[in-house]
Amino acid sequence: MTLQRQFESALADAFGKVLGEKTDASVVAAADLRFGDYQSNAAMALAKSRRTNPRELAGKVIEALDLGGLGTADIAGPGFINIRVAPETYARHTAELLADERLGVPAIGDGRTVVIDFSAPNVAKPMFVGHIRSTILGDALSRIARFLGFHVIADNHIGDWGTQFGMILYGWKTQLDEAALAEDPVNELVRIYRAINAATKDDPAVRESCKAELVKLQAGDEENLAIWNRCVELSKQGLQKIYDRLDIRFDHWLGESFYNDRLGPLVEEFIEKGLARESEGAICVFASGELPDEQDPFRIQNKEGWQDNPAIIRKADGGFLYATTDLATVEYRVDEWKADEIWYVVGVPQQLHFRQIFDASRRWGKDAGFRHIAFGSILGEDRKVLKTRSGDNVQLADVLDEAVERAGQVIAEKNPDLENAGEIAEIVGIGAVKFAELSQHRLTDYVFAWDRMLALQGDTAPYLQYSYVRIRSIFRKLEGGFDPASAKLSLHEDAEVHLARLLARYGETVPVLLDDHRPNLLANYLLELARAFHSFFEACPVLKAEPEVRDSRLALCELTSRVLEHGLGLLGIRCPERM
Ligand code: ARG
């Protein structure tokens, strides 16, 4: 059990004794160590509803409190209860964590099924910055949820159907470069898409031809279906290469096209059940009337007051839309996969779309814990949305190439004789890109700055990887063996205690990451841990210490390296053994 939980349960018992009834008492890690290691404001909360003085209540609770020797408690301010953990407690707890595969992290997921919808790029369109964020964030959340004991289904809902295929089909037939296609299919498809997209802007005839190709495809024309199929296959292969490089796996790739057959019946069902109705020839979902206007995604305010803001699920020409597919997708995930929760890792601009989908699904009886896990943009150093010099969207594959190349330079400077330098540059470069994403609050727009994200001294993945490598090198220098299981820990120096304190907090940090889907809290924790390690390593000699002290310190080193490696692993970042 985490120390935090142990204190919560001891405090709850003490409150129970004093108040004569069962209560909860929450405890948090203290932000300011001068007051102790943990803190509770339960006395203040409970005194209020019982009309007693919080300081007095806290005093009685402390008298009744049995911490079993784990630490001491005192009162501060208006009635805070501060708990100071004894160094021996940390020593014992560190030893327990060394014997625990889960490093103290409780499995809170209880096997609940969570579908995580992330990455989801569009076929034959380049993966752009929004997809980069979704891919990295979604993968980290999948890893964290899996480790916490959720049954995770990672689903790549690719955009493999839709109006872009009109342009791609027309382009394929009129200007495909076979050689280029064989060389780099994704690039060639993107080139075609861009060229035709530009042509439609000033040539109505091209627009008409694209439309005709699309209609043929939707009507099941064999030639067009075959071309479509090839495009999708080629795109998937190209994407798979990127995912392999990123070490990302999906359980399913049920793209938009998978739901095609369900859309017609779905719209009929919506009409029959009164969930949608006709308006100007289209079939639309309107507000239920159950929510106040401010909260209703189907209502919108303009100068004239509140207006309907319906979601179209079938156009007047019979075509279906993004919303129709997403409703069908919810149905499938709820009915077939028995999803308890569905998380969508998609940028802020789609917020309204998802609010509508969630509300319509609930009314339809297809309910799950829906979450839109939104994120901001990636900015260039000019603080505008990241673009290439020619003004195109930045592509993920290019970002990875550049990151790895630059990581290679950093490593070559630091350690020119390194074996497998290429392999390590890959681990470091990709780790740096992922960490730049994951160390930010997901809703902030962050600036993509190469030098900053690759710095060995900074809030970066290379810094954390380097800390890990540093620790592993201690063990390589070690003469004679070291068995962490039998090491006796005793902590004397402040730096030792502080390192152990942070190690104990790993199990308290990881479960909280899913409260608001914020892996950046883990990133921050790991940075703090690494800094604590470096302070410890400066203050406390390890290999030169007396055997008993040495073993105690080695045990701290061992656990630190495990937590660093594991924590980075939850973020999808690997650790090299040398760099
Ligand atoms: N393909 C979409 C886009 O690029 C993202 C899909 C997100 N998932 C979903 N179920 N709508 O914008």
Map out the domains of the chain with their CATH numbers: 3-85 (3.30.1360.70), 113-160+255-375 (3.40.50.620), 164-246 (no CATH), 431-570 (1.10.730.10)
* Residue 95: C-alpha distances to residues 147, 310, 454, 558 (Å): 22, 59, 34, 11
- Secondary structure string (H, E, C) spanning 236-274: HHHHHHHHHHHCCCCCECCCHHHHHHHHHHHHHHHHHCC
Instruction: Tell me how far apart the alpha carbons of residues 575 and 478 are, in angstroms, rounded to a whole number.
Output: 21
CA 203–ligand 1 middle distance (angstroms): 29
What pLDDT does residue 386 have? 82
CA 403–ligand 1 middle distance (angstroms): 26
159 Cβ below 6 A of ligand 1:
yes
Instruction: Tell me how far apart the alpha carbons of residues 3 and 9 are, in angstroms, rounded to a whole number.
Output: 10
Instruction: Tell me how far apart the alpha carbons of residues 234 and 201 are, in angstroms, rounded to a whole number.
Output: 27
| The residue type at 196 | I
What pLDDT does residue 130 have? 79
Residue 337's CB is within 10 A of a number of other CB atoms, namely 18
What pLDDT does residue 432 have? 96
Atom number of ligand 1 nearest to Cα 131:
4
Tokens coding 472: 């592993």
Query: Helices (DSSP H) in 386-460: which residue ranges?
Result: 396-414, 421-438, 450-454
Tokens 């300081």, residue located: 55
CA 484–ligand 1 middle distance (angstroms): 47
Tokens coding 138: 């979604």
Instruction: Tell me how far apart the alpha carbons of residues 486 and 484 are, in angstroms, rounded to a whole number.
Output: 6
Nearest CA to ligand 1 atom 4: 121
Mutate to test the pocket of ligand 1, among 327, 337, 346 (most ligand atoms within 8 A of CB): 346
135 Cβ below 6 A of ligand 1:
no
CA 298–ligand 1 middle distance (angstroms): 20
- Secondary structure string (H, E, C) spanning 519-553: CHHHHHHHHHHHHHHHHHHHHCCCCCCCHHHHHHH
What pLDDT does residue 383 have? 85
Nearest CA to ligand 1 atom 6: 120
Tokens coding 188: 């060639």
- How large is the ipTM? 0.99
CA 392–ligand 1 middle distance (angstroms): 20
254 Cβ below 6 A of ligand 1:
no
Tokens coding 410: 């950093």
Nearest to 500 by CA among 413, 451, 571, 558: 558
Where the chain has pLDDT below 70, the residues are none
Nearest to 523 by CA among 416, 438, 419: 438
Residue 86's CB is within 10 A of a number of other CB atoms, namely 16
Tokens coding 422: 């290429």
CA 246–ligand 1 middle distance (angstroms): 20
157 Cβ below 6 A of ligand 1:
yes
119 Cβ below 6 A of ligand 1:
no
CA 162–ligand 1 middle distance (angstroms): 12
CA 255–ligand 1 middle distance (angstroms): 9
Cβ partners under 8 Å of residue 447, min gap 6: 378, 379, 380, 381, 383
Specify the DSSP class assigned to residue 469.
H
117 Cβ below 6 A of ligand 1:
yes
Nearest to 505 by CA among 8, 72, 142, 30: 30
213 Cβ below 6 A of ligand 1:
no
Residue 370: strand pairing partners: 342
- Could you tell me if 169 and 227 are in contact, meaning their C-beta atoms sit under 8 angstroms apart? yes
Instruction: Tell me how far apart the alpha carbons of residues 274 and 310 are, in angstroms, rounded to a whole number.
Output: 14
326 Cβ below 6 A of ligand 1:
yes
Atom number of ligand 1 nearest to Cα 344:
8
CA 253–ligand 1 middle distance (angstroms): 12
Tokens 């839709």, residue located: 162
What pLDDT does residue 74 have? 95
CA 97–ligand 1 middle distance (angstroms): 41
346 Cβ below 6 A of ligand 1:
yes
Instruction: Tell me how far apart the alpha carbons of residues 24 and 577 are, in angstroms, rounded to a whole number.
Output: 45
Q: Does the global pTM surpass 0.90?
A: yes
What pLDDT does residue 469 have? 97
Instruction: Tell me how far apart the alpha carbons of residues 148 and 436 are, in angstroms, rounded to a whole number.
Output: 24
Mutate to test the pocket of ligand 1, among 157, 164, 375 (most ligand atoms within 8 A of CB): 157
Nearest to 161 by CA among 216, 123, 190: 123
Instruction: Tell me how far apart the alpha carbons of residues 57 and 49 are, in angstroms, rounded to a whole number.
Output: 12
CA 16–ligand 1 middle distance (angstroms): 50
| The residue type at 380 | G
